[in-house]
Amino acid sequence: MPNPIPGRPLVVLALAAGFALAHTQSPLFYSNQNQYLLHGLADAGYGHLRHDWLATTKDPTPVFSAGVAAAYRGAGLWPLQGAFLVLLMGYFASAWWLVSPLPGVTPSSRTALGFAALFTAAHAAIFRLFSVWLTGVDYPWFLQAGLAGQYVLGPGLQPSALGVLLVGSLAAFANGRPHLAAALAAGSAVLHATYLLPAALLALGYMTALGRSGQWRAAAGVGAVALSVALPVVVYTLVVFPPSSAGVFAESQQILAEVRIPHHAVVGRWLDGVAVLQLGWVALGLFLLRTSRLFLPLLIPAVGALVLTLVQVGTGDHTLALLFPWRVSAVLVPVATAAVVINIVNRRTIGLMEYWMFVALLVAAVAGGVAIMALGLGYRMNEDERAVLEYVRNNAGPDDVYLIPTRIPQVGTGPRGSVSTSFTPPPRPKPGSNLIPVDLQRFRLATGAPIYVDFKSVPYADVEVLEWRRRVRRVEAWYDEPDWDRAGVRDQLRAEGITHVLVPRAQAVRTTFLEPVHADDAYTVYRVK
C-alpha cells in the first residue's frame, strides 16, 4: 500500500490542526483570562477599564499585556482566540519534533499518525468530558498538567500558555540546536516571569549535557543566550516589585501563598495520591528517555525541583513557594506522555488495521472537540448572570464603579489535591470545598465596567496585595448585614468611589440610599444615591 500521508511537513501541520480542534479552547472571557487580559485591554481602551483599580496596579506580565493591547487595537478580540490556536498547534508540533529524533524512532508519516492519534487522545476534550460524566473527575487532565494544578496549555490564552516555548526548547535541543533551545526557554520567562525558574533549570540541564560531552564552548553559549534573554525580566521584576519593607513584603507573600493560591503554593494542599502517580509518570518518562539527548536536560530540572521543594517544605518560606519549584512538572508530565506514546507506537509495525484504528481515534477526538465547542459542553460559567452582565455592558458610564459580592472562600481547606473544572458545571463554594467560585469572575471583561474588587484577580506588588485584602474584607463586612442603612455604610461606599451595588436576589437588603435600577431572576443592581 502506498504511503497514505504524503508530504511530512504538511502532515505535521494537518495533525497539529486536528490536535488544536480536539483540545478545544474556552470562549472569552474565562478563568485566569479575567486577570491577565485586564491590563492589556484597559490600556487599549476596552470599555471603561482604564478606571478600574486593578488595571492601575503594577503589571506582572507587561510583554503579554502589550501584545493583548496591540491585538485589540489592530483587530479586536478575535486574534486572542487565534493566538491560542497557534499555540495549540505549536505544542503538538514541538512534541512531535521532540520525539522524532529519539533513538530507534522512524519519523515516517505513519509513525506521526500513530503518535498524533494517541497524543491527541490524551489531551482531547471529548475524553476529558467522558471522564467527568463517568467518574466526576477529569482524569486525562493529569496526563498533560503538572503538580499543584499548574499547566502549560490550560483552557485558553493566558501568559502560562507560553510555556509551550519550554516544550519547543526541549525539542530544539533534541534536534541539536542548543542555542535556540536556550532562547526559547528564556523567552517563556519574558512572557511570564513564573517560568524563570523552570527556564533556568532547563538551561542548566542543557549546559550540563553539553559539558559532559566536551562541548564547553556550546555550553557557555547556552548560558549566555539564556541570561541575555531573561535578564530584562529579572531587572523589571526587581525594579517594579521591590519589597516596600520587610514586614509588608512578608505579609503580602503570606497572603498570596496561603489565602489566594494555597492550591498552587502550599505543598500540603496539592500533594495527594494522584500527584504521587504523576511523579511516577515523570519517572517512567525519564526511564524511557534514558538513552536520548534529553535525559540530562530533563533529569537536572527534575532533581532541582525536588531539592527546592524539600527546602521550601522544610523552611516554610513563602517567597520560595511563590517561585513554584514544582512548576517544571507542567513540562515534565506532557513530555513523559509524549515519550510513553512514541514508545507504544514505535514498538510495532503500523499495518493497515492499525493505520485505520489511528485514523478513527483521531477523527473521533477532533469530531468530539468540534461538538463540545458547538454545543457549549465545556468551560461553562453561571448562565444566571447573563442578564445583569448585559444590563451593565449597555448602561455603564465612565465614572461608574460596581460593587459585586466578594469574599474569601475556604480554598485552604477541604480535600487535598488539584482538579480541573473545565468540563464540569460551574462549581459553587460548599462546606469542605477548596474550589474558587466562578460567579461574576468575568464581570470586568464581559461588561467593560470597573469594579471595586473581586477574589479571583489580584495584584502582586506587596502594598497592593495588602490593599486588595483590605478591599475584600470591607466587601465581606458590607454584605454580611442586610441593613445597609447602618451607620457609616453610605459614607464608606461614597469614599471608595462606588456608584452601583450588585445584590443577589436571594439576599435581603434594607436600604433607603440604594435605588434599584435593574432586577432579574438572579441579581438586583442598585445605584448609590
Model pLDDT, residue 389:
96
Q: Which domain holds residue 63?
A: 17-371
Residue 108 has pLDDT above 90, yes or no: no
Same domain, yes or no: 393 and 417: yes
Q: Which of 1-10, 18-27, 59-68, 173-182 has the lowest mean pLDDT?
A: 1-10
Residues 401 and 447 in one domain: yes
User: DSSP string covering 291-334, please?
Assistant: TSTTHHHHHHHHHHHHHHHHHHHHH--HHHHHT-GGGGHHHHHH
Q: Quick one: 284 and 208 in the same domain?
A: yes
Please provide the average confidence, as pLDDT, over all residues in the chain.
Answer: 92
61: which 3 cell numbers?
506580565
List pLDDT tens digits, range 193-213.
Answer: 999 999 999 999 999 999 999
pTM of the model: 0.93
User: Does 240 score more than 50 pLDDT?
Assistant: yes
Let me know whether 201 and 121 are in one domain. yes
Q: Summarize the confidence of residues 15-31 as an average pLDDT.
A: 95
Judge if 434 and 356 occupy the same domain.
no
Residues forming beta bridges with residue 500, ordered by sequence position: 402, 527
Q: Contact, 468 vs 453, CB < 8 A?
A: yes
Show the cell assigned to 170: 526541549
Domains contained in the chain, number: 2
- Contact status, residue 226 vs residue 190, Cβ threshold 8 Å: no
Q: Are 51 and 87 in a shared domain?
A: yes
What is the grid cell recorded at 483? Answer: 441593613
CA angle 61, 64, 65 (to 5 degrees): 80
Task: Look at residue 166 and tell me if it is in a domain.
Answer: yes
442 and 366 in a single domain? The answer is: no
- 190/329 same-domain check: yes
Label residues 125-161 b or e (16+ Cβ within 10 Å = b): bbbbbbbbeeeebbbbbbbbbbbbbbbbbbbbbbbbb
Q: Is residue 7 part of a domain?
A: no
Pair 302, 420 in one domain: no
> What pLDDT score does 508 carry?
85
Asked if omega into 29 is within 30° of 0 (cis), the reply is yes
Q: Tell me phi and psi for residue 382, to 5 degrees.
A: -70, 110
Listed residue (15, 152, 177) closest to 87, CA to CA: 152
* Domain assignment of residue 403, yes or no: yes
Helix (H/G/I), strand (E/B), else coil: 528: strand
Same-domain pairing of 197 and 218: yes
HSE at residue 12, side-chain half, CA atoms within 13 A, is: 16
pLDDT, one tens digit per residue, over 118-127 is: 999 999 999 9
Does residue 419 or residue 27 have the better pLDDT? 27
Does residue 2 lie within any of the structural domains? Answer: no
The H-or-E segment that residue 413 falls in is none
**Residue 174: pLDDT over 70:** yes
Please indicate, yes or no, if residue 357 is contained in any of the structural domains.
yes
Residues 488 and 401 in one domain: yes
Of 309, 337, 371, which one is at a domain's C-terminal end?
Answer: 371
Q: What is the pLDDT of residues 269-299, one digit of tens each?
A: 999 999 999 999 999 999 999 999 999 999 9
Q: Decide if 378 is inside a domain.
A: no
DSSP assignments along 447-486, one per residue:
H---BS--SS----SHHHHHHHHHHHHHHHHHHH-SBTTS
Q: Provide the pLDDT for residue 433.
A: 62
Q: Cα–Cα distance between 303 and 297 in angstroms, integer?
A: 11
pLDDT for residue 348: 76
pLDDT band, very low/low/confident/very high, at 425 (cuts 50, 70, 90): confident
Residue 475 clears pLDDT 80, i.e. is over it: yes
81/79 Cα distance (integer angstroms): 5
* DSSP H/E element including 270: helix 267-270
Q: Which of 331, 349, 371 is the last residue of a domain?
A: 371
Q: What is the pLDDT of residue 66?
A: 97
In a domain, 388, yes or no: yes
- What pLDDT does residue 427 have? 65
* 3 state SS of 278: helix
Q: Is the pLDDT of residue 188 over 80?
A: yes
Predicted pLDDT of residue 507 = 87
Do 367 and 396 lie in one domain? The reply is: no
Each residue's pLDDT tens digit, 129-164: 999 999 989 999 999 999 999 999 999 999 999 999
SS (H, E, C) 66-112: HHHHHHHHHHCCHHHHHHHHHHHHHHHHHHHHHHCCCCCCCCCHHHH
Cell reading at 516: 434599584
* 236 domain-assigned: yes
